């Protein structure tokens, strides 16, 4: 320990650590890299027994094929429509509930929050059968509003939990000052607390967006006969049967589908690594 360490010594000592880091990054990125490069490779290079790590030639053909596939625009629209309406509904409902929990005292508050925490862990994989039957009985099968309601309920508990935290973090004194100046309680919230809440609303709605955007199970089992009401994940899962063995087009479709989620996640990275981890968010 007493002899001075040369830079070379330090590099060598840290070699295993850095090698492990490189390995981690490669394992993380390779499937994503392979998805994107396959989407840009000419078909002859994809169906080759001598695959190249770096594409020899680039083409946009597969993206053309995916975009011009039957119903692509329609499914894209369906996904956006269902996702946005579910997130907005959840945000509206959660805002009221979160305000009541964070700023008011009432009997049953603890019980309500407990119910929200339990709802966050709801076994959605085990509720497919009753929800299928209920939707069928009420004539809601094959309809997009059914999906909106399910996605609303999937994202609601998480939205309440996070918004409650954000509202509790805003000093009530700010609203009180506005109320002293003649604002109503709702007016004080809207003018003073709401602008401060904007980052929280942004983060929660984007996470809700990703959850709803990715949802496959209910979209697959509640939309059966009405093919025009399908959403992107279901379309992607059946892409192979539509396009046979055209892996270039399949990977182009996967890339297009993943893109919004990737952009949102990377933009939110700071929030991801901080508080949301403890909220139990499955990406």
Partner 1 sequence: MSTVRERSVPGSRLPYLLIAPAVLGMLYLLLYPLARAVLISLQDFRLRQLILGDADFVGLRNYRTLLGDPVFWEVVRRTFVFMAVCVVAVMVLSTLVALMTERLGRAARTVVLSSLVLVWAVPVVAATTVFQWLFHSEFGIVNETLTGLGFASYEGYPWFAHGGAAFGIVVVLIVWQSVPFAAITLYSALVTVPAELYESARMDGAGAARVFRSVTFPLIRPIFMLVLSLEVIWTFKAFVQIWVMTRGGPGEATTILPVYAVQTALAGQRYDLGSAASILTVLLMSGVLVLYFRQLFRQEGEQL
Residues 46-65 interacting with partner 1 (rule: CB under 8 A): 46-51
CB of 64 to partner 1, least distance (A): 19
When the beta carbons of 150 and 229 are compared against partner 1, the nearer one is 150
CB of 73 to partner 1, least distance (A): 19
119-148: which residues touch partner 1 (CB under 8 A)?
A: 119, 121-123, 125-134, 136
CB of 12 to partner 1, least distance (A): 15
163-202: which residues touch partner 1 (CB under 8 A)?
A: 172-173, 175-176, 179-180, 185, 188
What tokens does 177 get? 């000052």
Please select the residue that binds partner 1; options are 64, 169, 202, 216, rule is CB under 8 A. 216
Please select the residue that binds partner 1; options are 1, 2, 106, 139, rule is CB under 8 A. 106
Interface segment toward partner 1; rule CB under 8 A; list 4-12, 63-71, 80-88, 149-157: 149-157
Instruction: Decide: is 241 part of the binding site for partner 1 (CB under 8 A).
Output: no
Interface segment toward partner 1; rule CB under 8 A; list 4-12, 64-72, 108-116, 196-204: 108-116
Please select the residue that binds partner 1; options are 66, 162, 222, 236, rule is CB under 8 A. 236
Interface segment toward partner 1; rule CB under 8 A; list 4-12, 55-63, 69-77, 264-272: 264-272
The answer to whether the CB of 246 falls within 8 A of the CB of 38 is: no
* Residue-by-residue DSSP string for 185-204: HHHHIIIIIHHHHHHHHHHH
Alpha-carbon radius of gyration of the chain = 24
Angle in degrees, CA 206, 208, 211, rounded to 5: 110
Instruction: Decide: is 104 part of the binding site for partner 1 (CB under 8 A).
Output: yes
Neighbours of 111 (CB within 10 A): 9
Q: Where are the alpha helices (DSSP H) in 215-268?
A: 217-222, 232-237, 239-243, 247-267
| Residue where the block lists tokens 């945000």 | 91
Please select the residue that binds partner 1; options are 12, 114, 198, 202, rule is CB under 8 A. 114
Instruction: Decide: is 254 part of the binding site for partner 1 (CB under 8 A).
Output: yes
Give Cβ neighbours of residue 283 (< 8 Å, ≥ 6 apart).
210, 214, 261, 265
Question: What whole-number distance in Å separates Cα of residue 111 and Cα of residue 281?
Answer: 22
Q: Exposure pattern of 2-32 as b/e (b: 16+ CB <10 Å)? A: eeeeeeeeeeeeeeeeeeeeeeeeeeeeeee
Please select the residue that binds partner 1; options are 94, 141, 163, 222, rule is CB under 8 A. 94
Give Cβ neighbours of residue 230 (< 8 Å, ≥ 6 apart).
71, 75, 78, 219, 223
Question: What whole-number distance in Å separates Cα of residue 193 and Cα of residue 175?
Answer: 7
Please select the residue that binds partner 1; options are 96, 145, 195, 199, rule is CB under 8 A. 96
């Amino acid at each position: 320990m007493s002899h001075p360490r040369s830079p070379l010594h330090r590099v060598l000592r840290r070699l295993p650590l850095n090698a492990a880091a490189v390995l981690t990054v490669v394992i993380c990125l390779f499937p994503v890299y392979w998805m994107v490069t396959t989407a840009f490779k000419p078909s002859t290079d994809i169906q080759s027994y001598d695959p190249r790590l770096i594409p020899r030639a680039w083409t946009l053909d597969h993206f053309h094929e995916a975009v011009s596939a039957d119903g692509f625009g329609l499914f894209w629209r369906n996904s956006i429509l269902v996702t946005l309406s579910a997130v907005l509904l959840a945000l509206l409902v959660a805002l009221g509930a979160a305000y009541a929990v964070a700023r008011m005292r009432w009997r049953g508050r603890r019980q309500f929050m407990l119910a929200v925490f339990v709802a966050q862990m709801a076994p959605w994989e085990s509720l497919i059968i009753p929800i299928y039957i209920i939707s069928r009985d009420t004539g809601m099968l094959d309809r997009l509003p059914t999906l909106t309601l399910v996605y609303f309920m999937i994202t609601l508990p998480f939205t309440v939990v996070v918004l409650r935290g954000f509202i509790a973090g805003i000093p009530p004194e700010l609203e009180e000052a506005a109320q002293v100046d003649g604002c109503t309680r709702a007016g004080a919230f809207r003018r003073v607390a709401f602008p401060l809440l904007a980052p929280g609303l942004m983060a929660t709605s984007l996470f809700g967006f990703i959850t709803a955007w990715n949802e496959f199970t209910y979209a697959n089992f509640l939309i059966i006969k009405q093919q025009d009401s399908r959403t992107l994940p279901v379309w992607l899962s059946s892409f192979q049967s539509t396009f046979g063995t055209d892996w270039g087009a399949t990977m182009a479709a996967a890339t297009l589908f993943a893109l919004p989620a990737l952009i949102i996640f990377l933009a939110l990275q700071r929030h991801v690594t901080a508080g949301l981890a403890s909220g139990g968010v499955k990406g």
